[in-house]
């Protein structure tokens, strides 16, 4: 797919730069000069390129990163190596991300997608309006210290307020802020299960059972504690509250 996109790009660039006739390359150069947008061929090329960026956008600019990190940590805290399996965790994180981001997606559809489909705005305006809700979401959960870090090393000038921060600078700052938040939540999740491990280890040591693995004995008790406290409900509730 990447090779195909690269070949299509090389095929289209000469006609865009040097203005060959439309019949020679199968592209209407005149349509590119219209303020309404690009030709159907360029739209197809942009669409194919955007498909490969969707997973990166999902991980870096939404709530997916925090959710999947916390769900992975709770599995490690309990001590179950592959239960729930990775596809289950990723699927749950994906649908929770859709739930959390649905107000933002609806806003993008209202202010950018629908006006563009109706011909009220251009593609450039639609892109600028569509990115703004996601920027506001990332700014809400990005720490100033992380923003300052990337601003310092990027040497970006004329940053007056949050609105003038470049998006390529905002995304990594948002990601490391989300990683820190996920590790803070994970620390709190580990505490009760570590206590169970310590209690079981102390009991086995007092009984002289040195050859018995404490992890094997404590695992059923940790699962029992998690089930009795309705752990999944509490974790999902806490994650949803953290995004309000």
The Cβ-side half-sphere exposure at 124, using a 13 Å CA radius, reads 6
CA 37/CA 59 separation, integer angstroms:
29
Contacts of 8 (CB under 8 A, 6+ apart): 45, 48
Q: Which of 33-42, 84-93, 214-223 has the highest mean pLDDT?
A: 84-93
Which pLDDT value is given to residue 90? 92
Distances (CA, A) of 49 to 1, 25, 57, 235: 9, 20, 13, 36
Nearest to 202 by CA among 186, 214, 191: 214
**Eight-state DSSP code of residue 164:** G
pTM: 0.75
Which pLDDT value is given to residue 11? 38
Evaluate if residue 34 carries a pLDDT over 70. no
Evaluate if residue 209 carries a pLDDT over 90. no
| Residue of 16 and 74 predicted with greater confidence | 74
Evaluate if residue 84 carries a pLDDT over 80. yes
Which pLDDT value is given to residue 183? 94
Nearest to 42 by CA among 71, 69, 74, 5: 5
Domain assignments of the chain as residue spans, ordered by start: 1-60, 61-242
- Band (154; pLDDT cuts 50, 70, 90): confident
- Band (43; pLDDT cuts 50, 70, 90): low
Which pLDDT value is given to residue 103? 92
Mean pLDDT for the stretch of residues 183-187: 93
């Amino acid at each position: 797919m990447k090779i195909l996109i690269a070949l299509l790009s090389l095929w289209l660039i000469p006609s865009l730069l040097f203005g060959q006739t439309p019949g020679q390359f199968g592209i209407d150069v005149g349509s590119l000069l219209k303020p309404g947008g690009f030709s159907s061929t360029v739209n197809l090329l942009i669409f194919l390129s955007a498909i490969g960026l969707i997973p990166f956008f999902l991980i870096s600019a939404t709530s997916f990163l925090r959710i999947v990190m916390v769900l992975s940590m709770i599995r490690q805290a309990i001590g179950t190596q592959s239960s729930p399996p990775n596809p289950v965790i990723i699927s749950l994180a994906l649908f929770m991300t859709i739930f959390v981001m649905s107000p933002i997606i609806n806003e993008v559809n209202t202010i950018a997608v629908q006006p563009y489909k109706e011909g009220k705005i251009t593609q450039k305006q639609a892109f600028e309006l569509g990115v703004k809700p996601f920027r506001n979401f990332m700014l809400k959960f990005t720490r100033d210290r992380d923003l300052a870090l990337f601003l310092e090393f990027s040497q970006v000038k004329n940053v007056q307020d949050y609105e003038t921060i470049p998006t390529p600078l905002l995304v990594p700052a948002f990601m490391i802020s989300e990683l820190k938040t996920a590790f803070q939540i994970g620390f709190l999740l580990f505490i009760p299960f570590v206590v169970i491990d310590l209690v079981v280890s102390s009991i086995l040591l007092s009984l002289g059972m040195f050859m018995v693995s404490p992890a094997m004995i404590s695992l059923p008790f940790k699962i029992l504690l998690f089930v009795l406290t309705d752990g999944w409900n509490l974790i999902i509730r806490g994650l949803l509250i953290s995004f309000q």
